[in-house]
Structure 1
């Protein structure tokens, strides 16, 4: 008789509410459905996210509250066992980091060792087997995403020093595939003037570097529900479409095809590693 698979713990570390929906929702839903424990950790309150201000409010506190509720709904759709909000202030994506809001600090201003120690405690409490972060460029370069990579990497080192052999995976997208998809979409969709297509030539990871290609088509319904939970991020201040809103409206058959797989890179794995599950290869 086959032995039941070991129950593992996956800790997924993201910068803002809604980041989990785009990069890791299918993997999270799959792990939860397979009986593993999934813990979602979000670094910031998302208070500087672009949104339709007439609907969701113009103040940081109001938007942060809305995005917290959306995060809870998303986590519920994915089967997340625990959600941890570290509570740092969103650092924003403008040319300069804004002053810290009263009673809080922008994530990028929090000392690395301090933030990493906080995440380390979560890893130790949960006895995490796998921690997902971002690649060193933070995917597309957002300063909070870069900081997630730095904090996650340091937290894993601290956890290992305390006896927890956690594996780190970078949640990513093969940039060659992404660029082809954008070029194809541009034939039928007019991107806004501020959209910088060339920036994606440097985003995420090359397809040849990716070590984990995780099939998640069976969990497309959960991923779509996760995306739709973050309604405040579907439109910009002018009422125009944002990426999340566009993707969440893709017709189901095409949606299931587009989001049939999620990708990760294990920076410690030898070249040529090919895996189909985030827990594959663990001892």
Structure 2
């Protein structure tokens, strides 16, 4: 199989693991070059005060939390086998896009796309991953990733696949987490009919069960995100599941092809479903 290069674009540290960690680990293990790009350092996010020196139980000092999350990102990328990690340095917007005066959600799409496109050209990328049109669950930075990735792909002619979650599977995952007997925090998903992607619109399903070890290690690298706010968070819950259950819950990853042509899929790890 020819060696390919995938550039995976994400909003914050830990998004790369939750949405695409198994796919990136599988691609790297199969000899492809994996490049990880994040728009922000997630400095407006919640943090585990015990894990993040100087942070409070909810929003810690942004410079401190951003530095911590950058270190966690590098550790997670190493666990997944990424060959290069780049951060674009935009300010984290927060859930309501009011966390910073000049945040990523308000940045010029053209300017951000040009910066991402420069990486695509430098890497001679075969595939770029972005996010679905809903921005997953609607976070302003995730919606901006969707816009910027589409624009960068158009600038460079790079094949684009958009990371998402099968909406039906999401309901199953949440049910499993509740059955695990742990507190599940309120998640900002809103109307379940409008988050992520309906099953019939998903074009690619990647089996990553054989890369559960790498995905779990990457999750655990994001120590500051295991708790925070009102208690144990989704990442912490997932990473603590028993092995077989973890493989069942986290063993598939999903993508949509905005070109609507799954038969023209890249000839690497992302085979059409």
- Specify which of 219, 232, 236 is matched with residue 227 of structure 1: 219
Which residue of the partner structure matches residue 99 of structure 2?
A: 98
Which residue of the partner structure matches residue 245 of structure 1?
A: 236
State the secondary structure of the residue aligned to 1:84.
strand
How far does the alpha carbon of each residue in 1:39-87 deviate from its partner, in whole angstroms, 9 at most, with x for none? 0000001101101235412200000000000000000001100001111
Higher mean C-alpha deviation, range 265-274 or range 74-83: 265-274
Which residue of the partner structure matches residue 138 of structure 2?
A: 141
Which residue of the partner structure matches residue 63 of structure 2?
A: 61
**Residues 274/89 of structure 1: CA separation in 2 closer, same or farther (3 Å cut):** closer
- Specify which of 262, 269, 281 is matched with residue 253 of structure 2: 262
Which residue of the partner structure matches residue 11 of structure 1?
A: 7
Larger C-alpha radius of gyration, 1 or 2? 1
**Residues 258/187 of structure 1: CA separation in 2 closer, same or farther (3 Å cut):** closer
State the secondary structure of the residue aligned to 1:136.
coil
State the secondary structure of the residue aligned to 1:85.
strand
Deviation at 1:213, TM superposition (A): 1.0
Distance (Å, rounded) in 2 between the aligned partners of 1:201 and 1:273: 29
How far does the alpha carbon of each residue in 1:105-141 deviate from its partner, in whole angstroms, 9 at most, with x for none? 3111211111000000000000111100001110010
**Residues 279/252 of structure 1: CA separation in 2 closer, same or farther (3 Å cut):** closer
Distance (Å, rounded) in 2 between the aligned partners of 1:80 and 1:266: 23
- Specify which of 64, 76, 79 is matched with residue 77 of structure 1: 79
State the secondary structure of the residue aligned to 1:41.
strand
**Residues 199/189 of structure 1: CA separation in 2 closer, same or farther (3 Å cut):** farther
**Residues 63/256 of structure 1: CA separation in 2 closer, same or farther (3 Å cut):** same
Aligned residues: 266
**Residues 196/146 of structure 1: CA separation in 2 closer, same or farther (3 Å cut):** closer
Which residue of the partner structure matches residue 104 of structure 2?
A: 107
**Residues 66/40 of structure 1: CA separation in 2 closer, same or farther (3 Å cut):** same
**Residues 108/70 of structure 1: CA separation in 2 closer, same or farther (3 Å cut):** same
Which residue of the partner structure matches residue 163 of structure 1?
A: none
State the secondary structure of the residue aligned to 1:91.
coil
Structure 1 alignment gaps of length 5 or more: 161-165
**Alpha-carbon contact 2:76-2:218 (below 8 Å) kept:** yes
**Residues 81/273 of structure 1: CA separation in 2 closer, same or farther (3 Å cut):** closer
**Residues 168/183 of structure 1: CA separation in 2 closer, same or farther (3 Å cut):** same
Deviation at 1:273, TM superposition (A): 8.9
TM-score (norm 2): 0.90
Which residue of the partner structure matches residue 16 of structure 2?
A: 20
**Residues 280/257 of structure 1: CA separation in 2 closer, same or farther (3 Å cut):** closer
TM-score (norm 1): 0.87
Q: CA RMSD in A?
A: 2.3
Structure 2 alignment gaps of length 5 or more: none
**Residues 99/195 of structure 1: CA separation in 2 closer, same or farther (3 Å cut):** closer
Distance (Å, rounded) in 1 between the aligned partners of 2:211 and 2:173: 21
**Residues 78/99 of structure 1: CA separation in 2 closer, same or farther (3 Å cut):** closer
Which residue of the partner structure matches residue 210 of structure 2?
A: 218
Which residue of the partner structure matches residue 25 of structure 2?
A: 29
Which residue of the partner structure matches residue 127 of structure 1?
A: 124
